[in-house]
Amino acid sequence: MKGVLPIKGASGREKKAPKELESVLNRYFGYSGFRGKQLEAIEAVLSGRDCFCLMPTGGGKSMCYQIPALVKTGIVLVIPPLIALMENQVASLKNKGVPAEFLSSTQASHTKQRIHEDLDTGNPSLKLLYVTPELVATSSFMAKLKKLYNRGLLGLVAIDEAHCISSWGHDFRPSYRKLSSLRKQFPDIPLLALTATAVPKVQKDVVSSLCLQNPVILRASFNRPNIFYEGQKLPQPWKRLWKSWAPPKCKFFLWLAIRNKCWTSDRLEMRGLDHPVSCLFCDQEQETIQHILCSCVFARQFWHSILFGLNVGNLSPSRDEISFADWWRKTSKKIHKSKRKGMNSIIILGAWCLWIHRNKAVFDGETPSLSSIRCVFLDEIGCWITAGAKHLQSFGLVLARNLHRV
């Protein structure tokens, strides 16, 4: 039991009134109140307890460690599975004035050095440090953590997507298995395991693999009112389209795209509606739906990185591919039957992400970016899997393993 262990520095109980926590939430993140099990998770770790928190994707998991980081002494170490996710979170925290950094292979060496120097000072300015599970598994980084811990500067360790230690298999993220040593290395630092995977067997496995001690177990409701997987009835024509998992709006979009009925610049122009004349992805060609989804250099790069990440880079659209539907048809024929449903979902999801990305470029003036579209793509995969896209699961694993190295 943890209670009998001596309490060291930052691990001590630092209880805060819910009102106080709420005002921090409001000040930094602009929310008026906590949602779901957020407050309970925060209170659990602030009281020094381990916590297992099951929360749907998009349920606000990150608040469960970001708020403690803002009110607690010491650094909060966050271990997410993807570099893209940490880059995103760190950038958004910095925007809000929260001192956060990440350490990864993609980080420039002078940046890494600056972070290490900050950690070595007796009083680091950092509040949140994001690292990959691979880095935690190295002895040099573990030694660094030990130092922080011995100086009372490690406040909490949050393990995001904690199911990677279990259901996604040892082969998938062996480094997640190594996280089990955290409890032994830092016996009195609260561990927070977060996941959106609701399988009871997995939950049990996460708790035991991470050696959580007498953890507070929280399970948020998965009934989110405004999300697309609420058991909507699919109109017949969409249902017959493809035997793949996708929210109806995405399927409908694809249905329109394949029939060339989307509101691209050429079609708007025909109606005298104001719109950029050329494709905002490449600024070279006239924008048609086939171009956005398939022949544009941006689209081809996107498809290539995704398919390459799935070890089928050879199936990416070639330079002279002009029809998205034709390319898709050819591609799915080359995929083994057992994987075809998953691949169909990947293609629908990819096309949908390209379309959303294009809309952001057209309507919100956002700069097209491969890394940000890949990020959205991976987040959507997680969301679709939660929503019931079983065939995407294995694809998600392979992508998560390969894409974070891109």
**Site residues, Zn ion (CB under 5 A):** 279, 281-282, 285, 296
The CB-of-271 to Zn ion minimum distance in angstroms stands at 21
The CB-of-81 to Zn ion minimum distance in angstroms stands at 32
**Separation of alpha carbons 243 and 230, rounded Å:** 19
The CB-of-303 to Zn ion minimum distance in angstroms stands at 13
First to last CA, the chain: 42
Surface-to-core class of residue 350, CB atoms within 10 Å of its CB (0-12 exposed, 13-18 middle, 19+ buried) = buried
Number of helices (H) and strands (E) in the chain: give both, helices first.
19, 7
Number of neighbouring beta carbons within 10 Å of residue 123: 7
Cα 159 to its chain centre, rounded Å, is: 13
The CB-of-319 to Zn ion minimum distance in angstroms stands at 13
Question: Would you say 202 or 279 has its CB closer to Zn ion?
Answer: 279
Question: Would you say 73 or 286 has its CB closer to Zn ion?
Answer: 286
**Separation of alpha carbons 46 and 155, rounded Å:** 9
Beta bridge partners of 77: 129, 157
Question: Would you say 134 or 285 has its CB closer to Zn ion?
Answer: 285
Supply 331's token pair.
């591609």
The CB-of-298 to Zn ion minimum distance in angstroms stands at 6
The CB-of-347 to Zn ion minimum distance in angstroms stands at 19
Question: Would you say 102 or 355 has its CB closer to Zn ion?
Answer: 355
**Separation of alpha carbons 379 and 110, rounded Å:** 30
Ranges assigned E (strand) in 63-214:
75-79, 100-103, 128-131, 154-159, 191-195
What's phi and psi for 278, nearest 5 deg? -105, 165
Question: Would you say 75 or 279 has its CB closer to Zn ion?
Answer: 279
The CB-of-299 to Zn ion minimum distance in angstroms stands at 7
Is 159 in contact with 18 (CB distance < 8 Å)?
no
The CB-of-301 to Zn ion minimum distance in angstroms stands at 11
Question: Would you say 162 or 289 has its CB closer to Zn ion?
Answer: 289
Is 157 in contact with 184 (CB distance < 8 Å)?
no
Question: Would you say 167 or 301 has its CB closer to Zn ion?
Answer: 301
Question: Would you say 106 or 371 has its CB closer to Zn ion?
Answer: 371
Write the CA distances from 44 to 40, 200, 265, integer angstroms. 6, 21, 53
- Cite the DSSP H helix spans in 222-312: 236-241, 248-258, 265-270, 289-290, 297-309
